[in-house]
């Protein structure tokens, strides 16, 4: 499936979106993740980047229904895709970005394969985060299939994160309140239980999924654990996300 890799890779190089892969190829999940791995390797060389973590996508029944699947999916985060709170981002540098408020986990030690919640809490710090999904397809959201998504690194765009803090308890993790503002006006709110019941569960899912591919989560990796709300289209201006007990994060699109 090197042809598929080349098609998506060329979209990155040229900044020109492409048609959905599914129109020309029939690709199962296993093959699509293999394509993602090959694409990520090529992008690492293109940008002089290294793998710095993973994002968990489709953590709600609604988004899973779009892709006709019954579980989340993951994408691979490169070091060049990580931004800090307060940074400016040029909209013209992206394709068709979205806004997704998410809790970020930063690992303080390697996780064992199939790590459980207790281990994840022991080996993590957390921070307020904002994921900015972005895909290389024309009119991609919400029109993608699972294969389209996985082949394009599960629409990994950018992530923005604040300063890390110690993790909460499992009980506290289920009830993090989120408020999203655009240019000072509140535009959405949500609760962490929307993320597989608990964002820690998303990290546990990721650990188990990666283990099936002989991959593990390593110290210092960042995990974007899943959105509290349905994605919103990113527009110019400043987005601020406030999380109870966790903190806040801010990014400005120019």
What ranges do the domains of the chain cover?
Answer: 2-253
For 13-33, give one letter per residue: b (16+ CB within 10 A) or e: eeeeebebbeeebebeeebbb
Measured CA to CA, the distance from residue 232 to residue 218 in angstroms comes to 31
Measured CA to CA, the distance from residue 246 to residue 254 in angstroms comes to 27
pLDDT given for residue 75 in this prediction: 97
Calculate the average pLDDT of the chain: 95
Q: What is the pLDDT of residues 76-110, one digit of tens each?
A: 999 999 999 999 999 999 999 999 999 999 999 99
| CATH node for 2-253 | 3.90.850.10
pLDDT given for residue 32 in this prediction: 96
Q: Which of 84, 76, 102, 85 is nearest to 157 (CA)?
A: 76
pLDDT given for residue 59 in this prediction: 84
Report residue 215 CA to chain centroid gap.
18
Report residue 47 CA to chain centroid gap.
19
pLDDT given for residue 69 in this prediction: 82
pLDDT given for residue 143 in this prediction: 93
Share of the chain above pLDDT 70, in %: 100
Task: Name beta bridge partners: 84.
Answer: 161
* 142 preceded by a cis bond (ω within 30 of 0): yes
Average pLDDT of the residues in 103-121: 96
pLDDT given for residue 1 in this prediction: 81
pLDDT given for residue 70 in this prediction: 83
Q: What is the pLDDT of residues 135-180, one digit of tens each?
A: 999 999 999 999 999 999 999 999 999 999 999 999 999 999 999 9
Statement: residue 62 has pLDDT above 80: no
Statement: residue 61 has pLDDT above 80: no
If pLDDT is split at 50, 70 and 90, which confidence band does 63 have? confident
Report residue 225 CA to chain centroid gap.
7
Task: Name beta bridge partners: 103.
Answer: 128
**pTM value?**
0.95
Cα dist from 118 to 5, 74, 172, 185, whole Å:
38, 22, 14, 38
Q: What is the pLDDT of residues 207-251, one digit of tens each?
A: 999 999 999 999 999 999 999 999 999 999 999 999 999 999 999
């Amino acid at each position: 499936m090197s042809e598929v890799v080349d098609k998506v890779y060329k979209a990155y190089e040229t900044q020109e979106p492409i048609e959905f892969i599914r129109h020309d190829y029939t690709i199962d999940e296993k093959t699509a993740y293999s394509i993602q791995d090959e694409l990520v390797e090529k992008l690492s060389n293109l940008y002089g980047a290294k793998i710095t973590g993973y994002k968990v996508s489709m953590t709600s029944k609604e988004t899973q229904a779009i892709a006709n699947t019954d579980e989340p999916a993951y994408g691979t985060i490169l070091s060049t895709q990580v931004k800090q709170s307060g940074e400016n981002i040029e909209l013209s540098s992206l394709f068709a970005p979205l806004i997704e408020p998410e809790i970020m986990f930063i690992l303080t030690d390697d996780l064992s394969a199939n790590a459980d919640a207790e281990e994840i809490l022991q080996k993590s710090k957390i921070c307020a985060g904002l994921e900015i999904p972005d895909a290389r397809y024309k009119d991609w959201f919400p029109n993608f299939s699972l294969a389209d998504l996985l082949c394009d690194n599960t629409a990994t765009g950018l992530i923005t994160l604040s300063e890390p803090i110690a993790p909460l308890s499992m009980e506290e993790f289920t009830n993090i309140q989120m408020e999203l503002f655009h240019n000072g006006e509140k535009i959405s709110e949500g609760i962490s239980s929307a993320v597989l019941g608990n964002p820690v569960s998303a990290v546990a899912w990721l650990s188990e999924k990666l283990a099936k591919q002989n991959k593990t989560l390593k110290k210092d990796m960042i995990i974007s654990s899943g959105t509290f709300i349905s994605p919103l289209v990113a527009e110019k201006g400043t987005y601020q996300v406030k999380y109870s007990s966790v903190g806040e994060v801010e990014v400005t699109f120019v």
